[in-house]
A and B are shown apart, each in its own frame.
Chain A
Amino acid sequence: MRITVILRRVLDPAGIVAHRRLRRLFINREEYILQPADRCALEVALRIKDAGDAEVVVVSGQPEPSDDTLRRGLAMGADRAIYLCGESFDDADDAVVTSVLKTVIGQLGGADLVLAGATTLDTGQGQLGIRLAEALGWPQIVGVRSVEAKNGRLRAVCQDEEQFVLVESDLPAVVTVCPEAVKPRYADGVRLINVYRGQGEMAESLETWDVGDMMSADELVPLLESRGRDFPPERTLGERVEGTPDEVAQTIADALRQRLRG
């Protein structure tokens, strides 16, 4: 079974400060971590690999100071890593990444299962995996908690309103994984060292593919463009709630209900 996992990176929120009064974003420490949901997707893939025979390929295409994202994936247990690069690819949106990934999966000779994160830590956009499902014409299961693959079928647990339900699908399929789905494993120490030194069986497993060779320039034009940032208003002193205990309780209960809705 061939599993492709899409990995993305995100600026560590501990290293940035959004300054409301100056309306600026300060990056104190530019450190990238794996998107938590993508890390869970990789863990799900590795659990399928542990339970049976599977090859796990991790793919990443975001520019970063070092190719940490993929090396971490390899250290956790992936068999092969593909780093996509290309100048015009740097500011790609999810629609462009989708068409590139479709080509990559084609060049890898297809896949039985594609796993991606259901959301991102920073922008909260969950469209990449689902767009890819549509582009490939495969079924999708969104926001799963656990996955089991057997005899060409896939069974996943996902949340439906209040309860968890079991969903079945044929393979190949695209599955997006919740960020809190599973506890990702720690990277194996020996693998980690070998991945960074480029030694042993790891030496050949990190490949760099140039997106410019695979796609025409027209296909790399993003649909969306950034129009800047906005900041919430500066924090002011809170509102004092006065009145009888019952009135106060009603105000608090209404406020809590409104914040917790949806």
Chain B
Amino acid sequence: MDASFLDLMMAQQEESFEEAEGGGGVWVVADVEGGQIAPVTLEAVGAARTLAESLGAYVYGVLLGHEVTSLADSLYQAGADGVRVGDHPDLDSSVLESRLAVLADLFAEEQPEIILFGANATGAALAPRLAQRMGGGLIEHVTAFSLEESSRAVEAGFPVYGGDYFEIRACPEARPQFLTIEPGAFAKPFLDEYRKGDPTVLDVEPAEPATRVLGPAEGFEAPRVPLSEASVVVAGGRQVGDFALVRRLADRLGAHVAGDRGAWDAGVIDSDQIVDVRGTTVSPDVYVAVGIRGDTFHNAAMESAGFVVAIHPDRDASIFDVADLCVEARPDMVLPAILESLR
């Protein structure tokens, strides 16, 4: 075998390697919250890392804001291979157009394969606009994904009817694939302090904003959400002891106060606050049952809640059949400590 043949073979191998790399990698658009990288962004970088390793691609972070360059380190530590920073006073405020212009130019040049956003207000406003501009498919509020290797398409699942079941969708042909990552759905990656890099600085040309924020809306009060549509409910029952503690917990969690029929009999709640199939049926994300024994009527009216915490002194109380966290204790013993811990 002569050397030229070896050279040829190696050249072919190199070529095929570049092909396999394909596309322009997995990109994460970072969010800044209170002077730090938002937790959902770090989770998205972790998710991007998983995708990139299966695809044989690199992970890039895009960080836009004012005086944010120093935050690029956290993106490297979370697993980004490269970071692009756009640092400009105009990118700090909620001016959509400037961010949109920077991202559109960047992505038009880099041709990413997958672009991840956090599923928050910024992601909800930016991702669909970019997807429409670049002709890509967008799947929002993704909580799980797998990769279809033949088409390099992400099969992403998102909750339907608040998590009753999950719908799985994929974008088989159009690129880039846009995903917004639901906060808390993916594990926060390990921050490796020894991972470092030198971020590339982007040119920023401020764009004319199309909407103007005039300031706080004076005198505007949002209509009260009815109990049946509440996302957090704290309910008390006969064994609650001091009902004021329930109200304080509800205040602390920004929750609706409710109770079972026993609480209504005791006169501590109104009739429209009864959680019961004959009263109000609720399906909140979080339901805290304090001193509620949990009869059939009550349990049937709240069993579609996402996460149930039950506190009751009786070990055999049927509320524990439908609860995710069960505390067998007198509510007035643990509630003050819970209030203290939530401070």
Contact = CB atoms under 8 A, between A and B. Distances in A.
Are A and B physically bound partners? yes
A200 interface: no
Interface string A118-130: 0001111111101
B168 A127 contact: no
Does more than half of chain B's interface fall in helix, strand or loop, or is it mixed?
mixed
Given A223-B136, A225-B170, A238-B320, A246 B129 contact: no
B211 A141 contact: yes
Contact of A168 (B128, B140, B214): B214
Interface string A226-262: 1111111001011111000110111111111111111
Interface stretch (B13-21, B55-63, B155-163): B155-163
B204 interface: no
Interface in B144-180: 144, 155, 157-174
Contacts of A217: none
Nearest to A239: B325
A257 B252 CA distance: 11
Contacts of B170: 224-225, 227
B101 to A, nearest CB: 13
Contacts of B323: 238
A98 interface: yes
B244 interface: no
Interface string B197-237: 00000000000001111111110101101000100100000
Interface string A155-187: 101011001111111100100000011110000
A45 interface: no
Interface stretch (A71-79, A103-111, A142-150, A201-209): A142-150
A125 B232 contact: no
B325 A93 contact: no
A140 interface: yes
A238 to B, nearest CB: 4
A139 B210 contact: yes
